[in-house]
Amino acid sequence: MRQYRIAHRLLAAMVLALVVPLALAGCGAPPPAPATAMPVPPTETPVPTAEAPEQPAAPEAAPAWNADGVISEGEYTQSIKAAGVTFYWTTDGEFLYGALSGQTKGWLSVGFDPDRGMQGANYVYGYVKDGAATVLDMFGTKPSGPDSHPPDTNLGGTNDIVASGGLEADGSTTIEFQIPLDSGDAYDKPLAVGESYVVLLAWGPNDDLGYHGDRGQATITIRE
């Protein structure tokens, strides 16, 4: 019996030796959780801002034509000089805008597209007297002579000068005028854009239509 108790105690001690470590292991603190990395905010990459392309400067508008006897810069696109008379002109495809300027207190004239001498030319003739400009539409009926280019209205035609004006100052005269490129009048020579024409330029020493102080000719091209 005594041996039985000794064996029983030994068995209990062995069981206790096994159970206690297991109990201690089960009651221990849970293993620490793995560290969680803090989120890092994304780094914003600056997006380059496209610069607006530099806009070209708008071209300056040409000054409006004005029959005031003053030739403004840019008012005419072309000019030519002969016999002491400068002829300026420009066109919009429907009308020709012209100016005559010369060192005279008398008259100035331009004849477009003559056939022979002064004959067949369409003339614009003008002068300034007492501050007022007189501008006439004429036609060459003969090769020469002071009576070779009467007004169109004397021939049964029409006065096709749309607008005109002039100025006399410091011994010089300037005449400005507007005429149709093609008036339809039998006593006007039609003018076409892109075509070239002979013009007759002349001036007189006074306001009376008479012999020239000088005259000459040149070739022009009608361009828009």
Is pLDDT at 11 greater than 70 in this prediction? no
Query: Is residue 132 assigned to a domain?
Result: yes
* Residue 191: CATH number of its domain: 2.60.40.1190
112-168 tens-digit pLDDT: 999 999 999 999 999 999 999 999 999 999 998 878 899 999 999 999 999 999 999
Percent of the chain surpassing pLDDT 70: 72
Position 190 in a domain: yes
126 closest CA partner among 69, 43, 171? 69
Q: Within a domain: residue 10?
A: no
Q: Is residue 39 in a domain? A: no
Confidence of residue 51 (pLDDT cuts 50, 70, 90): low
E strand or H helix at 24, and its extent? helix 2-26
How many structural domains comprise the chain? 1
| Whether the predicted model's global pTM rises above the 0.85 cut | no
Stretch 53-75: mean pLDDT, rounded?
77
Evaluate if residue 39 carries a pLDDT over 50. yes
- Residue 88 placed within a domain: yes
- Residue of 109, 97, 58, 62 lying closest to 222 (CA atoms): 97
Q: Which residues sit opposite 214 in a β-bridge?
A: 203
| pLDDT one-digit tens code per residue, 174-213 | 999 999 999 999 999 999 999 999 999 999 999 987 778 8
Strand order in the sheet with 78-82: 78-82, 85-91, 95-102, 172-180, 163-169
CA-CA distance, 113 to 122, in Å (whole number)? Answer: 7
State the residue range of the domain holding 157: 78-221
Is the pLDDT at 33 greater than 90? The verdict is no
Tens of pLDDT, residues 97-116: 999 999 999 999 999 999 99
Per-residue model confidence (pLDDT) at position 147: 82
Query: Using an 8 Å Cβ cutoff, are 108 and 100 in contact?
Result: yes
| Residue whose tokens read 């005559």 | 100
Contact 174, 166 (CB under 8 A): yes
pLDDT at 74 over 80: yes
Residue 42 lies in a domain: no
Please provide residue 154's backbone torsions phi and psi, each rounded to the nearest 5 degrees: -75, -15
